[in-house]
Amino acid sequence: SSEVLEAIENVIQGVLQSLAQKKAPVLTVANRTDWRNIEFKDSVGLQMIPGCTTRQIRSDCPQSAKRFALTLKILSMIYKMVQSNTYATKRDIYYSDTLLFRSQSVVDQIINDISCMLKIPRRSLHVLSTSKGFVAGNLSYTDEDGTKVNCTCSATVFTVPSNVQGIKNLTSHAKFILIVEKDATFQRLLDDDFFSKVSPCIMITGRGIPDLNTRLLVRKLWDSFQIPIFTLMDADPHGVEIMCVYKYGSVSMSFEAHHLTVPSVKWLGLLPSDLERLNICKDALIPFTKQDENKLASILKRPYIACQPLWKKELEIMAASKLKAEIQVLTSLSSDYLSRVYLPNKLQFRGWL
């Protein structure tokens, strides 16, 4: 906490020095969303380069003066929270003055900018985000407030903790972790009692694009148990993108790559080649939209695809067919095909990439 307070004090000191010299204060933040500031490292994923380009939030410019003021406002709120050892969610910060902040996304962007500017993970700033992910299966842990959470006893779904850093005493006999793209598939596997029938496992879903807490939990489970992590995604560009976020990270959070990415993640399904192998009827597949074509073209150009020739082959099958499929397409073979046949065979015969 002293490190966080000192970092904020340094920023404020810089503002005061500028004012003393009768200069307009300026905040300098990294260009977090620029691919030119990103390098790919096989062992880490997408990370920000040391000498990356920056942008200035000026106090004397009409376009950025409000942003400057809001950044100082949120810095002061963080400072007070760290001092008093209290926490707030991003929503709490927004609702503390909705007229001032105008939108939740403004608060979210500024908090990420502050985290990047101070080079301090968001969790250490005492800012939490509300979790949307779920976890179930062979796992128990103690929450930061001392509550014992046991996911193993039942088919109950638990929300991913909002302070993943604070959980401890993680225990599990799981043989693997299964990341499921969608909530509906996750619930279906729970109903079929998949995690205890096939072999003990931990199941997680970020319910689409994962939030920070879900990514932190996947990383924490990997650090704790070092067991295989498989992904179950739709066979479409959006599903591939989500899987890449878990494995290699995202451009906007590349400054935190070391805490968030799990490069050992494997693609279990649904593979584009599976659709042909299982003789899935063409009528059950969905034609590409222009957006799908653009997304796939963008993924194929990314630096990490070059070191994944088997992934590239699958993406090329998808690009050639211009067809996509949701995991639910397997119900056209039988209602419980996913949990009874598809996943057990994939796991037994090492059908992952």
3 state DSSP class of 289: coil
Identify the residue whose tokens are 């119900």: 331
3 state DSSP class of 178: strand
Among 79, 87, 94, 95, which one carries the catalytic annotation? 95
Q: Note if 94 is an active site residue.
A: no
- What does the alpha-carbon distance between residue 162 and residue 211 come to, in Å, rounded to a whole number? 10
Torsion from C-alpha of 227, 233, 237, 242, nearest 10 degrees: -50
**Could you tell me which residues come within 8 angstroms of residue 185 by beta carbon, excluding any fewer than 6 positions away?**
205, 232, 327, 328, 338
Q: Hey, what long-range contacts does 255-258 have (CB within 8 A, 24 or more apart)?
A: 255/30, 255/32, 255/47, 255/48, 255/115, 255/116, 255/119, 256/115, 256/121, 256/122, 257/44, 257/45, 257/46, 257/47, 257/48, 258/44, 258/47
Q: Within 13 A of 201's CA, how many CA atoms are on the CB side?
A: 23
- 231 DSSP β-pair partners: 179, 267
- What does the alpha-carbon distance between residue 269 and residue 337 come to, in Å, rounded to a whole number? 13
Residues belonging to the active site: 95
